[in-house]
């Protein structure tokens, strides 16, 4: 609460005692007049705070009590020192008149909105608030919806739409007041726009943050499955909202805010309206002509899908909690159940806005929620005091996690039944673990959760399995050997934000694809949507048409897709032999011969890996066979191109 510094409080008290400050006369002044008066002895900033506090107290039904409270708050006086000063205030009978009331309303709204508004705008706010209040009164005296899937009544929607109209108007005033530009803000805007653009042009929430509901459905939780399919529909509708019905989001918000359970859902800490999603921190890209509509549609789809799924899941868990006799009137219990809802939808922090970590990490909330899902929210601070019995939120969090993990196994089993070997589910150290294999294509149906299992398994076993050769390799500590620390670093590197990722590429001297980073190319990537980049990459690399179509669909829905290859890039960290060979044949032919090498090896390996003698070898011997074959193919290419490595002359050093 605001209070004057001691020095100014003493001056304020003195002026109250000698009559220089007369609350009745202050009330008769205009808002500007009061500010000017206070400014003469306390400065501009303190004058604004003091005047705003003075005016806010005039809203009290008992105006005299308001004046007393104001004097106490600003001056910090003890009761015995206030009696004589405040006795004059108690004699007040009427302090507002039409002229001063208008000034008062304008200044009060300015304080609440953190920006100054006109009298017309203040009146508009009052008008919208009055309509919402009247509609709420009618709604509360009318029949209400009931149940998880209860449809909003007409009176509920009348209130909801009026309330949203009020919120939109005041939010717009705040937004206009915050508009401004500073050279210091350019880096933040550029980085934020990159994050937003990279994560746009899709409806990926359902395949990433929201996929847990689908996985739970695989174990028989059909209510979660229904919510997932409903969310897909909402996502598509909200995406099209950018091109047509501009009120689709408002309509959904009106449906939520008028729900009889809405206040309880807010008490749960569920992230709904007003939450800043980590994926979309900047919307400057929405202003781009024509294609800006696609960016806007992506934002609508993501935010709309996230809020709808959380809303539906919150109602579901409220019903579950009451059915199991959990104390749903207890604040801690409500928040614990709300934490389950947030976790299932890619969040862990309620209404908290994205912080500094968003500048470095791609989706910090999603990382935290995935960890919570795989551990049953065991480290979630909101679970403190919650039991493992059916009445406790910990029990329901654990059941939810087991269903999700079980759902992954069920979907893998179904896929392997239909097409044996289409999902790797026996070796968690393999990069293909819990990914659907379609030829060389891999599709992640776990929303990225499989990556955490892979990392944990590799750290625990001290080994990793090559996804193309199937050979298991132990982590070592010698020079040039991959270690557990390398596994951790690689995992974290793939979780970096676009700008941080570019920094990592230049620091390492190589991109994720193994190429030498080029500044122009990397900057272009910063502002290219991921689905567009993936589709372009698939076409450029000559993926089969069916794989390209599957890739486009999976990427748009958020199920990450990629094609793994055993191809060797000779341009990546070439030794002295390859450098000399490149100088001899030229860059263009060097790349052609590199492709020839990969084609010959891949053809050989495809035939060899099914050979019974090869399969009987140990992993160590398999690796020796592969290494020898690669050397033979390379030597054959060198021979056909009349190349023989010439070692550099040894420089003789004097003896000392």
pLDDT digits (tens, 9 = 90+) for 110-158: 555 556 667 677 677 778 888 888 898 999 899 988 877 888 999 999 9
Rounded Cα distance, 449 and 372, in Å: 11
Query: Tokens 């406790």 — which residue?
Result: 392
Domain check: are 203 and 330 in the same one? Answer: yes
- Give the DSSP letter string of 262-295: HHHHHHTT---TT---TT-S--GGGGSTTTHHHH
Instruction: Report the number of distinct structural domains present in the chain.
Output: 4
CA-based nearest residue to 261, from 345, 146, 136, 135:
146
Low-confidence ranges of the chain (pLDDT < 70): 1-2, 56-117, 119, 122, 177-185, 245-246, 274-284, 349-357, 477-480
CA dihedral over 408, 412, 418, 422, signed as positive or negative: positive
Asked whether the beta carbons of 350 and 334 are under 8 A apart, the reply is no
pLDDT of res. 92: 35
Asked whether the beta carbons of 203 and 236 are under 8 A apart, the reply is yes
- Give the DSSP letter string of 309-374: HHHHHHHHHHHHHHHTT--TTSHHHHHHHHHHHHHHTT-SSTTPPP-GGGGTBS-HHHHHHHHHHH
pLDDT of res. 62: 47
Q: Domain for residue 82, yes or no?
A: yes
pLDDT of res. 478: 65
Q: Using CB atoms within 10 Å of the CB of residue 263, give its burial: 0 to 12 exposed, 13 to 18 middle, 19+ buried.
A: exposed
Q: Domain for residue 309, yes or no?
A: yes
Domain check: are 192 and 302 in the same one? Answer: yes
pLDDT of res. 290: 76
State in Å, rounded, how far the first CA of the chain is from the last one: 80
C-alpha distances (whole Å) from 198 to each of 191, 270, 529 are 11, 26, 4
Q: Domain for residue 571, yes or no?
A: no
Quote the DSSP letter at residue 184. Answer: G
Q: Domain for residue 516, yes or no?
A: no
Task: Choose the final residue of a domain: 364, 393, 417.
Answer: 417
Rounded Cα distance, 58 and 66, in Å: 6
Q: Domain for residue 426, yes or no?
A: yes
Q: Domain for residue 125, yes or no?
A: no
* C-alpha 4 chain-centroid distance: 40
Query: Tokens 């104390």 — which residue?
Result: 327
Domain check: are 204 and 287 in the same one? Answer: yes
Task: Choose the final residue of a domain: 417, 441, 475.
Answer: 417
Asked whether the beta carbons of 246 and 304 are under 8 A apart, the reply is no
Task: Choose the final residue of a domain: 391, 417, 443.
Answer: 417
Q: Domain for residue 450, yes or no?
A: yes
What is the span of the domain harbouring residue 554? 419-495+529-563
Q: Using CB atoms within 10 Å of the CB of residue 19, give its burial: 0 to 12 exposed, 13 to 18 middle, 19+ buried.
A: exposed
Q: Name, in order, each residue with C-beta under 8 angstroms of 335's C-beta and a sequence gap of 6 or more.
A: 267, 268, 269, 382
Strands 441-444 and 435-438: antiparallel
Neighbours of 222 (CB within 10 A): 10
Which tokens sit at 221? 């939780």
CA dihedral over 451, 457, 460, 461, signed as positive or negative: negative
Domain check: are 388 and 460 in the same one? Answer: no
C-alpha distances (whole Å) from 418 to each of 296, 373, 414, 422, 561 are 39, 28, 6, 9, 20
Three-class SS state of 435: strand
Asked whether the beta carbons of 341 and 210 are under 8 A apart, the reply is no
Domain check: are 355 and 310 in the same one? Answer: yes
Domain check: are 314 and 336 in the same one? Answer: yes
Asked whether the beta carbons of 619 and 473 are under 8 A apart, the reply is yes
Domain check: are 217 and 228 in the same one? Answer: yes
List the alpha helices (DSSP H) in 116-153: 119-140
Which tokens sit at 84? 């004589």
Query: Tokens 């006795």 — which residue?
Result: 87
Domain check: are 457 and 399 in the same one? Answer: no
Domain check: are 486 and 408 in the same one? Answer: no
Domain check: are 347 and 292 in the same one? Answer: yes
Strand locations in 445-567 (E): 463-465, 472-474, 561-563
Rounded Cα distance, 95 and 44, in Å: 25
Asked whether the beta carbons of 622 and 614 are under 8 A apart, the reply is yes
CA-based nearest residue to 344, from 204, 491, 149, 205:
205
Half-sphere exposure of 24 (CA within 13 A, CB side): 11
Domain check: are 349 and 204 in the same one? Answer: yes
pLDDT of res. 2: 66
Strands 472-474 and 561-563: unpaired
Three-class SS state of 120: helix
Quote the DSSP letter at residue 527. Answer: T
Domain check: are 386 and 482 in the same one? Answer: no
Rounded to 5 degrees, φ, ψ at 398 are: -65, -40
Q: Domain for residue 175, yes or no?
A: no
């Amino acid at each position: 609460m605001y209070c004057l510094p001691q020095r100014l409080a003493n001056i304020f008290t003195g002026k109250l005692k000698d009559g220089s400050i007369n609350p009745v006369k202050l009330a008769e002044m205009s808002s500007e007049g009061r500010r000017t008066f206070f400014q003469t002895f306390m400065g501009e900033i303190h004058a604004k705070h003091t005047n705003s506090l003075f005016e806010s107290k005039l809203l009290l039904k008992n105006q005299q009590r308001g004046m007393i409270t104001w004097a106490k708050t600003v001056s910090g006086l003890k009761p015995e020192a206030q009696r004589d000063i405040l006795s004059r205030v108690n004699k007040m009978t009427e302090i507002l008149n039409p002229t001063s009331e208008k000034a008062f309303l304008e200044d009060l709204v300015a304080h609440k909105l953190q920006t100054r508004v006109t009298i017309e705008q203040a009146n508009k706010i009052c008008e919208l608030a009055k309509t919402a209040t009247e509609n709420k009164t009618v709604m509360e005296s009318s029949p209400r919806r009931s149940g998880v899937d209860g449809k909003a009544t007409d009176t509920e929607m009348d209130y909801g739409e009026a309330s949203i109209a009020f919120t939109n108007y005041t939010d717009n005033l705040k937004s206009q007041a915050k508009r401004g530009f500073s050279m210091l803000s350019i880096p933040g805007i550029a980085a934020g726009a990159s994050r937003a653009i990279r994560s746009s042009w899709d409806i990926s929430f359902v395949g990433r943050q929201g996929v847990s509901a689908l996985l739970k459905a695989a174990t028989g939780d059909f209510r979660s499955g229904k919510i997932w399919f409903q969310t897909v529909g909402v996502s598509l509708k909200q995406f099209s909202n950018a091109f047509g019905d501009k009120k689709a989001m408002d309509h959904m918000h009106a449906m939520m805010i008028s729900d009889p359970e809405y206040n309880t859902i807010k008490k749960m800490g569920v992230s709904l309206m007003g939450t800043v999603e980590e994926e979309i921190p900047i919307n400057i890209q929405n202003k781009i002509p024509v294609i800006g509509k696609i960016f806007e549609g992506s934002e609508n789809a993501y935010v709309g899908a996230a809020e709808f799924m959380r809303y539906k899941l919150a109602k579901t868990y409220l019903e579950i909690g009451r059915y199991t006799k959990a104390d749903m009137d207890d604040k801690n219990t409500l928040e614990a159940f709300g934490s389950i809802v947030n976790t299932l939808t890619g969040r862990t922090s309620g209404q908290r806005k994205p912080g500094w970590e968003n500048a470095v990490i791609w989706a910090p909330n999603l990382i935290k929620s995935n960890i919570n899902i795989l551990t049953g929210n065991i480290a979630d601070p909101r679970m403190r005091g919650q039991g493992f019995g059916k009445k406790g939120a910990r029990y329901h969090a654990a059941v939810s996690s087991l269903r999700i993990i079980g759902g992954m196994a069920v979907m893998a089993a179904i896929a392997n039944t239909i097409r044996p070997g289409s999902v790797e589910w026996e070796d968690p150290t393999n990069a293909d673990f819990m990914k659907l294999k379609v030829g060389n294509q891999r599709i992640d149906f776990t929303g990225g959760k499989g990556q955490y299992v892979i990392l944990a398994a590799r750290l625990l076993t001290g080994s990793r399995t090559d996804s193309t050769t199937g050979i298991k390799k132990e982590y070592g500590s010698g020079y040039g050997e991959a270690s557990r620390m390398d596994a951790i670093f690689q995992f974290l590197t793939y979780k970096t934000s676009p700008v941080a990722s570019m920094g990592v590429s230049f620091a390492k001297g190589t991109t994720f694809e193994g190429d030498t980073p080029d500044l122009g190319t990397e900057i272009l990537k910063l502002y290219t949507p991921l689905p567009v980049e993936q589709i372009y990459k698939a076409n450029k690399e000559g993926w089969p048409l069916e794989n390209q179509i599957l890739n486009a669909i999976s990427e748009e829905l958020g199920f990450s897709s990629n094609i793994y290859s055993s191809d060797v890039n000779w341009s990546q960290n070439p030794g002295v032999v390859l450098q000399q060979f490149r100088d001899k044949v030229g860059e263009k032919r060097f790349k052609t011969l590199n492709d020839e090498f990969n084609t010959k090896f891949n053809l050989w390996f495809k035939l060899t890996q099914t050979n019974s003698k090869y399969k009987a070898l140990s992993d160590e011997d398999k690796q020796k066979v592969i290494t020898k074959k690669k050397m033979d193919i390379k030597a054959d290419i060198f021979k056909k191109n009349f190349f023989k490595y010439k070692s550099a002359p040894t420089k003789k050093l004097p003896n000392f």
